[in-house]
Every structure is written in C-alpha cells, then in structure tokens.
A and B are shown apart, each in its own frame.
Chain A
Amino acid sequence: MNAMPPKDNTLSRRSFLGWLVKGSLAGSVLLGLGMVGRFISFQSEQSPPSQYDLGLATHYPIGSRIPFTPAQAFIIHNNEGYRAISLVCPHLGCIVNVTGDGFTCPCHGSSYLPDGSLRKGPAARALSPLRVEANEEDHLILYTD
C-alpha cells in the first residue's frame, strides 16, 4: 500500500491573496455604505417653524405683556384682545430689547412705543405685527409667516 501524502494545512499564496481581495472588497463596500449613509443622514439646517403653540390662553391674562423668545415675538393681551409683534427690528434685523417704555434696538438705537409703533429711527417703520389666534383647545397659536 502506498502511504497517503500528508495533508498540507498551510495557506497557499493564491488562497491568501484571494481572501485579501475578498476582504478588501467587503471592507470597501462597508466603508462605501458608511459614506453613503453619512451623506443620506445629513441634516441640513431646519427652517424655523411658521407657527408656535403658545400654551393655554389663560396663561396670558388681560394686561399681560409676555415675550416669546423661540419666535422672537412679544404677546400683548389688552381689552382689544390678543396681539403679537415681532421683536426683529425692521431696520436691519437685530432683536430689540424690551424696556420699561417700549422696545429699543441695541444695534442702532431705533426705539418703539409699547404697542410697537415707531418712536425714533433709523428704522423707518413699526415692529411687524404677527397673527395670533386661539384654537379649539383654547391654546394660542402664533403664526410667523
């Protein structure tokens, strides 16, 4: 009987290169998928919402004057109802400060009366009015568009 030749367990050069090719291709696919995933999942800057829920209308009693910072707005409730005005200065777009006697722009000094009308420039017009309405649940909804 002829003896069987011993089994060669060592990896041949051809096999090694074959595995290396497969590994490289698999790695490339994974890295490529990672890049594609990263590209697809990129979150561009969100546009600000055009309406905001200000909460229950009862939180804004008659006579109240309450800033709403997320929308850069100011909510006024007087005998005529609810009003909202934008805190963005119509001159160049700075956010006006609320002062004891109205509003003042910290950038260029425009000044507004408590109802938002223009007291002095350089702005040429009053603070912009915004729409505010109560919904069925008696929540105030502010519209900024």
Chain B
Amino acid sequence: MHRHFFLASFLLFIACGLVLWQQNLGPKPIAITPTITGQVEYCLTCHNDLAEISKSHPVETFGCVLCHGGQPLALNADLAHSTMRGGANPSDLSVVETSCGGEMCHSGTPQVQRDHIQRVTTSLQATYAGAIAQVRYAFGAQPDLIARMGIFAIDGLAAFDPSKESSAGIQKFAINCLTCHLTAQPMPAAENDRWTGCSACHSPAPRQDSTLVHQLTTSIPYTQCDACHNRGNYSLADMQYHSRQDTPTDRVHDYYQPIAAFTRCEWTLDCVDCHTRQEAMGDGHVYSSKKDIQYVRCKTCHGTTQSLPLTYIITDENDLALREAFLNPVIDIEVGDTILMTDKGEPLWNIHVIPAEDGGTPTYEIFGKASSERLTFKPVMGSTCQQKPDQQEAKYCHECHATQR
C-alpha cells in the first residue's frame, strides 16, 4: 500500500514537472488582430519572418487565416496547420473560392472586373478542354473539335472520366498527358516546378532547396510561363509527353523550340507584356482551342499599313488600366493619358502613346511588366512595310521580321 502511494506521488511530481517544462518550451506567442476579421491569430509566433505576400494583402489587414485557413489560436504546429486550405497553397482551385473569393476580393461581378475565379475556372488553362476535345476527336470519341469535357465539370463542360472511355489512346492520354493544367501537380523536374491554381502564375515556384517564396505578383516573367510552356511536346503517336533534353539558357538561340520562328519582341519581352488577362485567365466563356481565346497579334500593338493600333483615353479614375498599373507600377499613367487597347477593348496599360509633335505617326512606349524596361516602337503605318491588311497572322510578319537563329 505504502509502496503504491510512494510511486503515485512520485509519478505525480514528475508529471507536473514535465507539463510545466513543456509549457515553457513553447515560443512566446506573437498575436495579431487583422482589421478584416478582428479575430486574434497567433500564426506569427512561428511565421514572423515571412515576407509580406504583396502590398495588396498586408498581414495587418488580412492576417493569415483568412486566406490560408488553419487554427488561429493554436501554438502547436500540427494543430495550427491541421485545417489549412490547400496545404501551403490556398489558391489551389479546389479551395480557391473559400481562400481568395468574396465579392470584394476575387469573385466579384464581371461589371467591376473582379470575377477572377469565375474566369479562371472556365479557362483552357484550368479545364484543359481543348486538349481533351482534340484527343477525343482524334480517337473517334466525339464527332468534332468542340469542347465537351474538362478536367472538372463546369457549366457547359462535363468532367472528363477516362474510365468511361473505350479508346486505349484516350486512356493513355489521361495517364501520361494531364500534367499541365492548373490543377495538376507539376512534373518532377526543377524546370517544371510550379504551384497549382492562381499561384501557378502569380507565385514563384519553390526554390531549388525546396524553401518557399511567400509572394503574389502580377509581375510575371517569361520563366514562370515556361514551367508549362516550351518544355516539350505531347505526341499523339505514342501518347507520351516528350520533355526537352536540353537546358535552354540563351533565349534567342536555344530557348524556344527549333521549329518556331520569332520576332525580336517575342524573345525580348515577357509573355504578359503582350498577352492579356483574358487570354491567360479566360473571359468566362468555354472555348475549344487556345486559338479561340488567344487573340493578341502583331497588329494589336503595331497596327497595319492602313490603320494605327487601337487606343483609348483614360477618362475614369476607376479605369481597369489604372488598377492594373497600381498593382504593378512600372508605368506612371493617369486620367487623360492615351494607351493601347485590344480588339476586345482590354487595356494594354503598359503601352503608352507619345503623339508626334508634327501630328504624324505617333511613337509608342512599352514598359516590361516584369523587367520594368522601357522600349519604344513605331507603327507599321507610314513605314516601308507592304503587308496586306487582311494578312495579319504572325506567319506573315515572321517572313520579314523573324530573328535568324
């Protein structure tokens, strides 16, 4: 009896000591109360060294939990992270509406141009509907090239289900070739590394040592796009992805695939300098081919022999051009400035018109969205170019302007 009493009291003492010791082991809590939620979070106890993700998402306003989920009051890492959305990536399309959505954030109305999530989830980069339609057509599973299925179901597209396909080729496609859409995990090579969802484009990939970069940006270099593009080819012959064997470094000579021709602006600018948000992120409609949504051409910026590129004068303080320039201030534009716009009326906010003093053809200045570099160019009209106005595909321009490689 006494022996048991002794053991019990001794174990109680040890247990109390262990509990107190463990309590003191933990870090001193660092609290933050974001202005949006007004709820205390202790995430900064461990993550106080993280860089601000962007100037539009300051931690004092947003905190961490609003976007990432998790347990705001937990000081134990496992518990704190147990309910995070999308792991380290809350922009994964499976959770993006909860993480990034909201009327005032990224799932507002098209009228105020805040329907980012609605557009992205219908985009070809997310649905892969074009590639699926091409392959299903090639293997006789559908009568035309019209998109009917996507990686996930949305209004107008059914979910692509390989188990319901009778063609071995389509099933092989499903196994080997679904690696580039926004919900797919990247292929296991450093040059393919990227996040999924919004962060596939808007966040840098993890570094080579696997450490993460806490950043959201609209300043997207071409190297980010190249995690998916320009890395190899899918072959219909064997239904395999054939990755490039070289490691291109010199952009003009070996970066792009050898069969393609490119003009100077195509290898000196970044992709986002010309291609618009609707081309990359969709416009809310379902398309069957990249060609149906990718509409910016040489003439969009350079015009034709008969017409100057489309322009408009910014008259409204709430103009989308000013909003985009605010997020990536490589150019100083304001109400009254004239900028270029596309055939669909999208502002090319980084291209500013400089009128000629003699009233002749203007000059245009373009600011690299990722490089901040300023370049100037003249329109086709008034030059020696003889190109017919109705022949404006890139192949015609490349006949004279392709860089010798």
The chain B residue with its CB closest to the CB of A91 is B104
Question: Given A17-B2, A93-B36, are A120 and B317 also a contact pair (CB < 8 Å)?
Answer: yes
Q: What separation, in Å, do the CA atoms of A121 and B2 have in the docked complex?
A: 78
Find out whether the CB atom of B322 lies under 8 angstroms from the CB atom of A109: yes
Interface residues on A, range: 20 to 34
Residue from A27, A35, A119, A121 in contact with B19 in the complex, judged by beta carbons closer than 8 Å: A35
Q: Is A92 part of the contact surface with B, judged by Cβ < 8 Å?
A: yes
Closest residue on chain B to residue A104 by CB atoms:
B326
Q: Tell me, in angstroms, the Cα distance from A88 to B324 when the chains sit together.
A: 22
Cβ of B249 under 8 Å from chain A: no
Listed by A's residue number, 23 A-B pairs whose Cβ atoms lie within 8 Å are: A20-B6, A27-B13, A28-B12, A28-B16, A31-B17, A31-B20, A32-B16, A35-B19, A35-B20, A44-B40, A88-B35, A91-B104, A92-B105, A93-B61, A94-B35, A95-B60, A106-B55, A107-B55, A107-B58, A120-B318, A121-B318, A122-B114, A122-B323
Interface residues contributed by chain B, number (CB under 8 Å): 34
Say yes or no for B45: interface residue by CB 8 A criterion: no
Q: CB-CB contacts of B1-44 with A at 8 A, as 1s and 0s? A: 01001100110110011011001000000010111100010000
Q: How far is the CB of A113 from chain B (nearest CB, A)?
A: 12
Contact of A92 among B2, B33, B61, B323 (CB under 8 A): B61
Contact A109 B323 (CB under 8 A): yes
Interface residues of B in 59-104 (CB under 8 A from A): 60-62, 104
Give the docked Cα–Cα distance between A91 and B58 (Å). 14
Residue of B nearest to A121 (CB): B318
Q: Chain A residues near B114 (CB, 8 Å)? A: 122
A80 → chain B closest CB, angstroms: 27
The answer on a CB contact under 8 Å between B9 and A25 is yes
Contact present for B56 and A24 (CB under 8 Å): no
* Residues in chain B near residue A111, CB distance under 8 A: 317
**Cα A93 to Cα B33 with chains together (Å):** 12
Interface members, chain A 105-119 (any B CB < 8 Å):
106-109, 111, 119
Query: How many angstroms from the CA of A32 to the CA of B17 in the assembled complex?
Result: 9
B112 at the interface (CB under 8 A from A): yes
A31 to B24 Cα, complex, angstroms: 13
Contact B33 A45 (CB under 8 A): yes
- Interface residue A7 (Cβ < 8 Å from any Cβ of B): no
- State the Cβ distance, A135 to closest chain B Cβ, in Å: 28
Q: Does B57 contact A (CB under 8 A)?
A: yes
A38–B23 CB distance below 8 A:
yes
Asked if A21 is at the interface of the complex by the 8 Å CB criterion, the answer is yes
Interface centre among B5, B6, B17, B61 (most CB of A within 10 A): B61
